[in-house]
Amino acid sequence: MVISINPKNPQQKHLDTIVEVLVSGGVIIYPTDTFYGFGASLLNTDAIEKLYRLKRQEKNKFYSFILPDLKSISEYAMVSDYAFKALKYHLPGPYTFILPASRVIPKKLWSKRKTVGIRIPDNKISVAIANGLEHPIVSTTVLDKSGEGIFNPDFIDKELENKVDLVVHGGIITPHQSSVVDLTDSAPVIIREGAGSIEWFK
């Protein structure tokens, strides 16, 4: 099933349908501010297992979590005063911030260092979905057959489309990677420089 949704003013009836699919254990393809991603509910084990199968990845693969706002982050990660200032300054935006995982996050979704990757995209659709879901979306980029991230939903392979429960068509987005910053220690560590400026951390 494909739903076309307004990227500037997402229709509530469509958002309700998307959230219902996630709550019931479905996997979606949806837009973020970097690429289209696979999304699943953090609270549904079967859906997360399906994510691993779709990506053909081992179960220790590090996925990021999409959250709707800053106030929800402290429930899922441990945030120092410095980290909170960094998050407040940069989010929403094309960043993935690595933080120590809280006990709310299932251990199988922790990295080997017991961390999680937190995102609040600058994309009204993904933020609205996370807000309606009321807990994080486990998220990973959808790749085409050449291994590149998909930014145009019309490029999604029909075979792949049939393997997910819903495709959220939110228009073409500007393709780029998020900047990844590790904030687990007192000094930030730049893991990857992407679309988000890292000048603040130098």
Q: Is-cis flag, bond preceding 92, omega within 30?
A: yes
In the chain, what are the domain boundaries? 2-201
Range 17-20, long-range pairs (CB < 8 A, 24+ positions): 17/166, 18/129, 18/132, 18/166, 18/168, 19/129, 19/132, 19/133
Give pLDDT tens digits along the chain (202 positions): 899 999 999 999 999 999 999 999 999 999 999 999 999 999 998 998 898 888 876 655 678 999 999 999 999 999 999 999 999 999 999 999 999 988 887 766 766 678 899 999 999 999 999 999 999 999 999 998 888 999 999 999 888 999 999 999 999 999 999 999 999 998 999 999 999 999 999 8
With 0.85 as the threshold, say if the pTM is over it: yes
Q: What whole-number distance in Å separates Cα of residue 136 and Cα of residue 131?
A: 9
Q: Is 197 helix (H, G, I), strand (E, B) or coil?
A: coil
Q: What whole-number distance in Å separates Cα of residue 29 and Cα of residue 25?
A: 14
Strands 179-182 and 28-31: unpaired
Size of the chain, expressed as the number of residues it contains: 202
CATH number 3.30.720.210 given to 2-201 = no
pLDDT number for residue 112: 65
